[in-house]
Structure formats: structure tokens, C-alpha cells
Amino acid sequence: MAAAPRRLGATFAAGRGTTGLIPYLTAGYPSLEASLEMMRGFDRPGVRAIEVGIPFSDPIADGPEIQRAAEWALRSRVGASETLALVAGLRRVSQLPVVVMTYANPILRHGIAAFAEAAREAGVDGILISDLPPDESPEVWAALDRAGLDTVVLVAPTSDAARLPMLVARASGFVYCLARTGVTGSGGGDATGLEERVAAVRALTALPVVIGFGIAGPSAAHALKGVADAVVVGAAFMRAVTVDPARGAVHRVQTLAGELLEALS
């Protein structure tokens, strides 16, 4: 395994004992310029990292809010290269860690080694591949390791206890526990056993544990204060954009970020 990149390790170490925020946004929604402005505004105390999604045509793990965002961005021809360029733009003004969320297809289309190196050069800290289990396609994981990128692994309510050690062993940067079954966004799915699942992960690793899926707003984030090292909020930010993509989207996103940080403080 590659050594953990400095930015992710440092931000979680600095926030040890507290629960931080990881905002998610889809690159290019409503525009690349707005995405960069949102990302710059996230660089504030309490934000551990940013998760940036590469727009994809078949986002099976995502609910309607992020699906709409991806469709919008794809119509503007935003893909893997544009997403990495967005991160590079942030790096000119901020050292806030960035995890790129993607599906396997954009990486394969880009070329595995080429994608990993381009991500490293852009200043990406970690990669989350939603539809690629850690025991499949070893060449992908090896390329990410060679580039010195963290590999964030999902632990779901349906993850078999026998697989948990393998999942955790593959993870670096942090372990991402899904709060419930189903897709991103609010409502539905099975949310039982979350604290037990977090405890099982903590028994296997000293890595930070992050919780996401279905954290619809400040009250849901507050309920996880002290349970996780950070919470990921995505669909709520995309809903804030969708209110009116042409006007006020950045302001609404930053207002929501402030409310979430207050709930976690």
C-alpha cells in the first residue's frame, strides 16, 4: 500500500476527536466555474475534504439529485479530464484535500495508468470507485497505489462480516461507511446497525471513519456527531443548486455548508 497522502492525514489528525464535514459536488453542475467557486468556499474550519464526482451516464449508486446533476454536466461535456482540471484549479489557491468519486468506466476509458498519473498531477488525494469491489480488477488498484493516491472503500449495511477485514485492508485515507442501503439522497433504505458497523470497522483499523448516504441536512448530520470522524453530504448540496442553477447556486451551497458545520460543532 502507498503511504497516505499528507493532506488527508493532516486534516483528520488536526480534527481528531471532532466530527467534520465532507461536502460532495458533481463537477460542472451548474458550471465548472461555479464548481470551482463552491470548492474554494468549502476551505473553512471543520471541512475535512471535498468529494468531487466525475459525471457519468449510469450512476447506479446515486439518487435523482445527483443523477440530474450528472446529466446536466455531461451535456456541457464535463468528464474525467475536466474534473481533474477543476481540482488542479483549486490547487492554485487551496490545499484542502480532494477525493474524486467515480465509477470504473470513466477510469477505463481514460486509461488506468494515465488516469492515476493525471489525478496525482492535478493534486487529487484519493479515489473512490463506487462500482469496483476491492477484490476485482487488481490492475486498477495497483495503478492508484503507484500514483500514491488513497483508495477510499465503501462499507455497506450489506457488506458481509467475513469480507470486512479485506475491505478495510484495501482502504487508505479513510473508510466510508454507508448509513443505509439504497442510493444517495434522503428516504428509503435500511439504516439499522450503523453504530455497530462503525464499531466493527474501528476494531480493524486506526483510519478515520466517515459516514454518508441519506444525510439530508443539519439535523441528520448532528445525529452523527461523535459517531463518525466526518459526514459526507451530497444530494442536499445538489438540491440547493437545482433550486435555480442560473442564479444564487454558490450562495445557497455555502449557506448550507455553514448550517451543517454549525450542527457538527
| Concatenated DSSP letters of 53-121 | EPP-S--TT--HHHHHHHHHHHHTT--HHHHHHHHHHHHTT----EEEEE-HHHHHHH-HHHHHHHHHH
- Give catalytic residues, as residue numbers: 51, 62
Coil, helix or strand at residue 160: coil
Q: What's the alpha-carbon Rg for the chain, to the nearest Å?
A: 17
Coil, helix or strand at residue 211: strand
- Specify whether the CB–CB gap between 102 and 55 falls below 8 A: no
Place of cell 445538489: 238
Q: How deeply is 183 buried, as exposed, middle or buried, from its count of CB atoms within 10 A (0-12, 13-18, 19+)?
A: buried
Task: Name the nearest CA neighbour of 177 among 127, 128, 225, 213.
Answer: 213
Place of cell 476527536: 17
- Specify whether the CB–CB gap between 8 and 49 falls below 8 A: yes
Question: Which H or E element spans position 196?
Answer: helix 194-202
Q: How deeply is 220 buried, as exposed, middle or buried, from its count of CB atoms within 10 A (0-12, 13-18, 19+)?
A: middle
